[in-house]
């Protein structure tokens, strides 16, 4: 009975969100209510092999979806300022593109190093193992280098300004980031690339809903291919249903989490603070591992839905508070993007994946360091344009040369 009530609530919020968002499927409230509506329906139809969902999880999701959608729709209803709307600097765009080309060989060298050091007979499994620190001599950071952030931001900006003049750039940057996803064997990188592309193209009215459906089918094919290629003796067994393993299993896994049971205050939500303290030597306690322990809920999984850090650190109150907080933040970004602010369109393009992935894991605070890097890199071309930084430097140089001539 509780399951059907949750389904009805998600359906109600989904319809309201669609109407309030003018039927835009990329609205954060539409995505959130739609994701959990899909999870519950699929669980009812296909989740018989998994542990049953209890009131503990269902009530937590009811709180999350309701408060997230209401806060997101509230901020979407507010008018936004159109002052100081700026375009990215063309010079910065050129720098980003050529910096991407220069750093591309580093990725190839990294892939070669993995294959050389790998111990598995499946070199594609070695690629994935390296991405999670499973190969001696290769750090996790080596498989997530900073320069790929520049690739992604450069690609999104060039895609937004797609024309005959820059279509080669768009194709090259897409290929580079796609290859990065292949080398890391990470579905997430394909997801952010394709979903971000679909959002930008949909915003520009270059594609319609049918094209988005084709894109989602393409993603499913890519995911299934990766699953087969990297199959190993862990939770990723080819015999497991991908829907059960990746889409449904995090929900019953959440049932195993104890509320407000963290050893330190907010050690999951505010992990970045503890990580900085540890790096600076202020403490000898390492921050919590972002790779969680596996639990068996009918299949093996180590993902616990978006609720995990909030519930683990602060209990039900944490779920409610951060549902409102993230609803307001993401609603604001979406509102600015829909109003035509290019910077916020780019930012929302990479946040989109994190909104969709809430059925599996929390990624806003867990990946806060990466998110901040993306925002800063995305901001640079607009700051350069806004304050004419390079133009100002050229003026100073011309002034200095004029004084020397005198």
The answer as to whether 117 is a domain residue is no
The answer as to whether 222 is a domain residue is no
Mean pLDDT within 27-46: 96
212: CB partners within 8 A, 6+ apart: 25, 198, 202
Confidence of residue 234 (pLDDT cuts 50, 70, 90): very low
Q: How many domains does the chain have?
A: 1
Mean pLDDT within 68-86: 85
Structure-derived torsion over alpha carbons of residues 226, 349, 332, 64, reported in degrees to the nearest 10: -10
With helix as H, strand as E and coil as C, how does 16-69 read?
Answer: HHHHHCCCCCCCHHHHHHHHHHHHHHHHHHHHHHCCCCCHHHHHHHHHHHHHHH
pLDDT of residue 237: 47
pLDDT score of 323 more than 50: yes
pLDDT of residue 116: 76
**Domain membership of residue 333 as a residue range:** 2-85+250-343+352-360
pLDDT of residue 120: 67
The answer as to whether 24 is a domain residue is yes
At 331-367, the pLDDT tens digits run 999 999 999 999 999 999 999 999 999 999 999 999 9
Round the CA-based radius of gyration of the chain to a whole number and report it. 23
pLDDT score of 402 more than 70: no
Residue with more model confidence, 175 or 226: 175
Confidence of residue 401 (pLDDT cuts 50, 70, 90): low
Sign of the C-alpha dihedral, residues 37, 39, 43, 45? Answer: positive
Which of 36, 48, 3 minimizes the C-alpha distance to 298?
A: 48
Could you give the percent of the chain with pLDDT greater than 70? 86
pLDDT of residue 217: 83
pLDDT score of 64 more than 50: yes
State the DSSP string of 300-337.
EE---BTTHHHHHHHHHHHHHHHHHHHHHHHHHHHHHH
**How far is it, in rounded angstroms, from Cα 322 to Cα 274?**
19
Round the average pLDDT of the chain to a whole number and report it. 88
At 244-278, the pLDDT tens digits run 888 999 999 999 999 999 999 999 999 999 999 99
State the DSSP string of 137-203.
T--GGGGS-THHHHHHHHHHHHHHT--TTTHHHHHHHHHHHHHHHHHHT-HHHHHHHHHHHHHHHHH
Q: CA triplet 288, 304, 322: central angle to 5 degrees?
A: 75
The answer as to whether 279 is a domain residue is yes
pLDDT of residue 155: 98
Confidence of residue 236 (pLDDT cuts 50, 70, 90): very low
pLDDT score of 122 more than 70: no
pLDDT score of 45 more than 50: yes
The answer as to whether 155 is a domain residue is no
At 136-183, the pLDDT tens digits run 767 767 678 899 999 999 999 999 999 999 999 999 999 999 999 888
Mean pLDDT within 34-45: 95
The answer as to whether 70 is a domain residue is yes
Which of 238, 242, 199, 234 minimizes the C-alpha distance to 334?
A: 199
* Span between the terminal Cα atoms of the chain, in Å: 88
The answer as to whether 164 is a domain residue is no
Question: Which position has the token pair 């519930």?
Answer: 311
Confidence of residue 405 (pLDDT cuts 50, 70, 90): low
Specify the range with the lowest mean pLDDT, choosing from 27-36, 198-207, 213-222, 345-354: 213-222
The answer as to whether 323 is a domain residue is yes
Confidence of residue 235 (pLDDT cuts 50, 70, 90): very low
């Amino acid at each position: 009975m509780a399951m059907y009530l949750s389904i009805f609530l998600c359906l109600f919020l989904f319809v309201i969100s669609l109407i309030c968002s003018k039927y835009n499927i990329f609205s954060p409230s539409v995505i959130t209510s739609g994701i959990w509506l899909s999870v519950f329906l699929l669980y009812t139809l296909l989740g018989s092999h998994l542990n049953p969902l209890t009131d503990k999880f269902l009530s937590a999701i009811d709180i999350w979806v309701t408060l997230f959608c209401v806060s997101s729709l509230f901020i979407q209803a507010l008018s936004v300022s159109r002052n100081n709307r700026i375009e990215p600097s063309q010079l910065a765009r050129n720098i980003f593109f050529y910096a991407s080309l220069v750093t591309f060989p580093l990725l190839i060298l990294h892939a070669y190093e993995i294959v050389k050091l790998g111990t598995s007979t499946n070199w594609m499994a070695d690629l994935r193992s390296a991405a999670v620190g499973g190969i001696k001599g290769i750090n996790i950071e080596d498989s997530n280098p900073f320069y790929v952030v520049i690739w992604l931001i450069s690609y999104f900006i060039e895609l937004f300004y797609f024309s005959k003049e820059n279509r080669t750039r768009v194709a090259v940057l897409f290929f580079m980031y796609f290859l990065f996803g292949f080398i890391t064997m990470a579905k997430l990188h394909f997801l952010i690339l394709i979903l971000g592309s679909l959002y930008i193209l949909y915003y520009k009215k270059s594609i319609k809903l049918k094209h988005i459906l084709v894109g989602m089918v393409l993603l499913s094919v890519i995911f299934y291919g990766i699953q087969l290629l990297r199959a190993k003796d862990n939770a990723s067994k080819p015999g497991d249903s991908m829907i059960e393993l990746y889409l449904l299993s995090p929900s019953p896994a959440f049932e195993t989490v104890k509320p407000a049971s963290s050893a330190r205050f907010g050690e999951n939500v505010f992990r970045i603070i503890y990580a900085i303290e540890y790096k600076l030597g202020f403490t000898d306690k390492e921050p919590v591992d972002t790779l969680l322990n596996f639990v068996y809920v009918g299949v093996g999984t180590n993902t616990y839905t978006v609720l995990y850090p909030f519930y683990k650190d602060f209990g039900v109150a944490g779920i409610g508070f951060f549902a409102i907080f993230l609803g307001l933040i993401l609603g604001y970004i979406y509102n600015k993007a829909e109003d035509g602010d290019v910077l916020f369109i780019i930012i929302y393009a990479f946040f989109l994946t994190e909104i969709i992935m809430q059925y599996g894991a929390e990624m806003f605070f867990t990946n806060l360091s990466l998110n901040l890097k993306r925002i800063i890199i995305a901001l640079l071309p607009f700051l350069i344009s806004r304050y004419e930084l390079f133009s100002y430097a050229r003026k100073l140089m011309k002034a200095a040369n004029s004084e020397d001539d005198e």
